[in-house]
Amino acid sequence: MNGDQIFNSINNIQISIKNHKEEIEKLDQEIGDGDHIFNILRGLDEILNLKEELMDKPIDHIFKQLGMKIMTTVGGSSGALFATLLMGMSKKYNSDLNALHNLSEMFFEGVQSMKKRGKADVGEKTMLDVLIPVSNSLIELQNETDFEKVANNINNVAKDGMLSTKDIIATKGRASFLGERAKGHIDPGARSSQLAIEAICNQFINK
């Protein structure tokens, strides 16, 4: 893992989110407050602007600075949560571990930090319905040497988590006020998180 790989992944996430902008916006207008896609794209723009400054810095420093940038520039609950994810990941970096083992431990720590900050868990119709299962699967697969196998597995886990939100009654955020009416709608945060995971995983598939 290095700075170039991190920023390449962020760039791929931005491309995917932009390609699905109208879909995510529609999902958020149905059960949210409509600002999710704006906040996500703004955050991606802000951290990509740090590429030259951070490219050659230590991995933990990169993640910490990315998190701090999002925290200070992106509004909405998603901004605070993604900032927490990145800063949580920075605390767990260990240069003695191989790339996958390192990533799995970092991501697990970041997601646990998100859980605490958002006071949410699986089954509450949020982005955590994607991120928690993905973090758990990465821990299970951290010693796997076939990266394409891992990427395919994680892709499927993320997709299943995203789709599961369609039949959940929300207990967090604006969607929680809708009660039963939120059923039948995929959570926009879960969809954007799934697209981000997919964009990263696709870098290791059919290469």
Q: pLDDT tens for residues 83-142?
A: 999 999 999 999 888 889 999 999 999 999 999 998 889 998 899 999 999 999 999 999
Query: Residues 125, 182: contact at Cβ < 8 Å?
Result: yes
Q: Check residue 177 and give its pLDDT.
A: 46
Total number of domains in the chain: 1
The SS3 of residue 125 is coil
Check which CATH number belongs to the domain holding 113 and give it: 1.25.40.340
Query: Which structural domain, as residue segments, surrounds residue 18?
Result: 3-204
Alpha helices (H) along the chain? 3-19, 21-31, 36-48, 51-54, 59-73, 76-90, 99-118, 128-140, 147-164, 188-201
Q: Check residue 183 and give its pLDDT.
A: 73
State how far the alpha carbon of 23 is from the alpha carbons of 36, 45, 131, 162, in Å. 12, 19, 20, 14
Q: Check residue 30 and give its pLDDT.
A: 78
Tens-level pLDDT at each residue, the chain (207 residues): 899 999 999 999 999 999 999 999 998 887 677 788 889 999 999 999 999 999 999 999 999 999 999 999 887 788 899 999 999 999 999 988 888 999 999 999 999 999 999 888 999 889 999 999 999 999 999 999 999 999 999 999 999 999 999 987 766 565 554 556 557 788 999 999 999 999 999 998 865
pTM of the model: 0.92
Distance of CA 38 to the CA centre of its chain: 16
